[in-house]
Structure 1
Amino acid sequence: MKFLSDLTLCLQEVEWSTQDSSNQKELTMKRFLLTIILIAFSVFAWSQEGRKERADNAYSKHAFITAGEMYQSLIDQGYESADLYGKLGNTFYFNARYQEALEAYEKMLSFKTGVPKEYYFRYGQCLRVVGKDKKAEKYLKKFYQSLSVDNHTPSQLIGEINTLAPQDYVLIDARINSEVADFGTAFYGEDKIVFSSARDTGLFVSRKDKWNAMPFLKLYTATINPDGTLSEVEKLEGSVNSKFHQSTAALSSDGKTLYFTRNNFNKGKFGKDERGINHLKIYKAILDNGSWKYIEELSINGEDYSTAHPALSPDGKYLYFASDRSGSLGDSDLFRVELKSDGEFGAIEHLGDRINTPGKESFPFIDQDGNLYFSSNGHSGFGGLDVFVVVFDEFGREQIVNLNQPINSAFDDFGFATRKDGIGYLSSNRGQKDGFDNIYSVQGTKTKLQATLCGQVLDSISKQPIISAVIELRNSDNQVLTTVTVDDQGQFCLPVWPLEGYNLRAVASGFEHKEIWITPIANHGKRNVTLELVKDMAVFKEGDDLAKQLNLNPIYFDFDGSGIRKVSEIELAKVIAVLKKYPEFNLKVNSHTDSRGSREYNLSLSERRAKSTVDFIIEKGKINPNRIKGQGYGESRPLKDCEKTNCSGQEHQLNRRSEFKIVLGK
């Protein structure tokens, strides 16, 4: 029998009735066999292919509205393909038109052909938007399974528990445990704790709970030893302890008010609801000459439900508690209420479905930094009640973190309380054959969960940093978490929540945006990525000089010759990359010299250099010779007129240049 680690406090014939929150519904899965009739079809006319190419061209320029209209027009006329539907879906997806994107993606998937893994991700997001969560999970799982993840199986990625490292805490016996239940510690000033116990320090045990034939719970204090263990157990002074159950207390910061849990029993009256059930309530007591007196029931209680396990925020502004009142999702949920300066209470707040589950949430505790700890059997854990902590990540999102082993076990672990100096206490029934709870001393502090994602954004051709790039970090629901601009080296670093995947997008004017999926990073880990952006075709125009567009270094030749130096081969490789990326581009190579030397010699030298450049590009890049021509102009087209003025060496160098002019069409 589990004794009071839930909200149950049965005395004599009284029992706390709860609904079974684990109503399991038998789901009958019907599988439908779909027979796809394959229809042979002929190739459409060249005009339709041309329209598809024009639509793809608009798509590549991110003209998604225009591209979408063109794709839809082709579909209306009977032109269909997985690629067409996929791109149509993307035109809607990138404009947040998820219902329309969903329909297009479903058409794409109906072709039963291999699709890029990112489509599973986008399709899953669209399904979530329209409320088809089960189907969304199926496709998002497909997406995760398509990833290669170090040290994680796909099943671990789906619904993985956020946990602290096991070595963050050490547990030892607190040395005050009795042969019955001892649990529910709270700090009682600087050098003591208050806890619940079924031990009885009187000469005679006159009253016992018929549940377990043990004495009713009372509140006790114990002294904190330097090593975190406990000693000098004493029953709490005053009138807090009644002849029935008392447990789980919280002390105000000034040490003058004590909140505690007790059966519905006050001033000699034993209260029951209409069904004859005695519920739990929270009471408060005032310290008077070293003794707790003036017991008062809180107005947040009710006759038809239990309210228990009080905890105070460090500033004393809020009282947290557990209850099965109306609005609870499961056996018991966590709530809080504002403690106003005039002694009244504010509105009761349910802590929401991120914290509360259809299971049991109980035993709240708020540390000195404002972190909320609680126990639950509704969140994924190791078994029974586990201890969790609510923290906020770098993006202000509430995260539920399992404290891992040794704090948690396959048994019930609850009542966790800790201080900044690393001293803490835990209640657990681990290793207890009788099921009673023991108190353990906890040594250690909570480790911050954080990882780092760094990277650099480069031009895919020039390999130069794109200093105008903007980085968007999105979660698995495609919500933008943060946006940053890269530095003057095209670099960025972001603190991220570990054990979670992200969609990283780089956007820069004149470039196609790039998305990559960041698989989960281990706690305190660091991941470095490189995003290479491709020039948007729309930035290239007839007559543009690629040397300027690509920020090429000068093309150097052997002195007084036409042999291309090794250092210039890297620059020409960038030109080759553009020709391969954009097969509709042709190129004219213009070679120029400065005005030193005779006109005839300079013209001949420039023509040889132009030819050498063209030959290099054709041979090294396997480029069709019809796509590239060269011409030498000698000194006839200077950027700086050095015949009228005396030019410096740098000005002469401006005139010695190679141009790579874009020619569109044949």
Structure 2
Amino acid sequence: MTMKHYFLGFLSIIILLGSCKSLQEKGTEQYLSGEYQYAINTFSQILEEDPENLEANQIVAESYRLSNRIEKSTPYYEKLAEEDPTFENYFFLGQSLKAQQEDEKAKEAFEKAKENTQDESLLARVDQELSGIAFAKGIENYWPYHELVNYRELNTSGPDYAPIVSEQFLYFTSARQASGIYPATGAPYTKLFRTRAEDLRVDVSGIQPLPEFQNEEGLNQAAAAISPDGNTIIYARGNSTSPKDLPETALFVSYFRGAGFTQPIWMPVNEDEFWWNSTPSFSPDGEVLYFASNRPGGFGGIDLYKATKLANGDFGNAVNLGPNINTAGNELFPRMAPDGKFFFASDGHPGFGKLDLFVAETNEEGKQIITNLGENINSSADDFSIFFTNYPKEGFLSSNREGGVGDDDIYYFEDKTPTPKIVNVLLNVTTKERVAGEEDQILQQARVVLYDGNNKQIGGDFSNSNGRVRFTMEPEADYTIITSKGGYFSKSITYTTRGKTPDPSTLIQDVTNVSLDTTVVLDQLILDKSIILENIYYDLDKAEIRADAAVELDKLVQILKDNPAIRIELSSHTDSRSSDAYNLDLSQRRAQSAVDYIVSQGIDPDRLVAKGYGESQLIIENAQTEEEHQVNRRTEFKVIEIQE
């Protein structure tokens, strides 16, 4: 190298160092002023010439993190962790990798962060991040059939977010028609807009700046909330670069008075002009204001608060929503649903990365449970600002996930639960009467009543000339059918449709009718007419009720329950073997044993008379065979009274 070239090279280094110093001072001022995007631009120039500059790497990394773009900070934190292995550098590196779903690399960074601290609170925060990564792999979709769609016709290349619907208008935040750049993110300043909407149908051609009051220039206006009665608008206003303006984002309110809305004013619920307050929403009754704030006394980052409406119409007495909802991370965009479920966005609860949408609800034990809405709603990017147009089936939310139109985009979601295949069960009940020595005959004008599994009457009619009654029933259900007619024993039977209909998943048609049949036979109710109870057996010379006899007696129990107006005589008969006295005593004991069993099943004993006839009423005189003796050994009942 010649001396001339050396001198020129040395002179270039001097000039570069001088310019770097100037750039460094400029970038540092931008960073300290919260102009993060400007600081990134400035220090990126330094890094082009000096990639190892730790201060430049740190300010670029922190600027991306503090402007909610931590996923872009990875290479800078990697450099910092390599040269300066502190807890903070490894922890934020882990968060940036997690935001890109680089879970294994993120876990390595978090483990190294733990090696560089003994602070219990910091170790607990790392463990929360690690458990969150593991937990995210098992997250199920809260609404399995909800589908999310980008509202492309509504979105622009800039940020569009925080949609709400009030009185058939969609209100939202957007950078369209912007005047100026927000230095923290490099994105245009945002304003409030509205257009007509009905449910999810939005008039994208009619979008206009908020007409209730004028958007201000040179600052962000965002995340509006409108009271249920439409008379109050609360929104977040801030990020002005004017030294005469408020130093931090705050909530402003405008009230409808007479012919229009008032000019927005600073809300007392902000409490301190140096506290960040944003993302407001009303409770369904308008009596509570929910919002996000970084005010002191929280659980870290941004927390959610609620304030109640005061007598003068302001909101005050702000209360932190507590450590179950709030975390060491950030919680924003609260939304209380009509059924008491509380929806919000968080990057502190286990999720898929950055902000995810969650729901807090109280279980049967009274404990509040926090649930991630799942990957059909959330992504590895920011997902936030949910609003329901038809709770919980449809609504809007915001996301800056990949595949969108621009920065933050507005999405709509719908419940696409498949229409269930309907199976109608049609049961034809035929009523008949039993006629001795003949086939059962059709019984007309019998009253047939249908009860469901909860013993609630769901149908009833009289059988027609063909003895038919038809009921519509549900598949896989249990029923009771009670049939009655004057002069006949009423009868109740159980009926189930379980296993009698096809599996709906195998059906092609939307509606399938299945026809089933059953028959109910009634016996004539005649005073003093003996009716033999079949299969009532006793052990030799004993009167105790056997298990098989109990089964048959249960049928008589049901007859008595179905016919509460009758009294019966229950009689026992023996064959002619053994003495008259012995047979009379044995039959009386057997009859009484049967009555005692029936009483034990809940039948009033006053409705029963036990009578032993011994061998005095033989059906077959001079019986010779065992079969003939068996005919004589029988148990009967007869109705002896019908109470009015």
TM-score range, shorter chain: 0.3 to 0.5
Instruction: State which structure, 1 or 2, has the greater radius of gyration over its C-alpha atoms.
Output: 2
TM-score normalised by L of structure 2: 0.45
TM-score by length of 1: 0.44
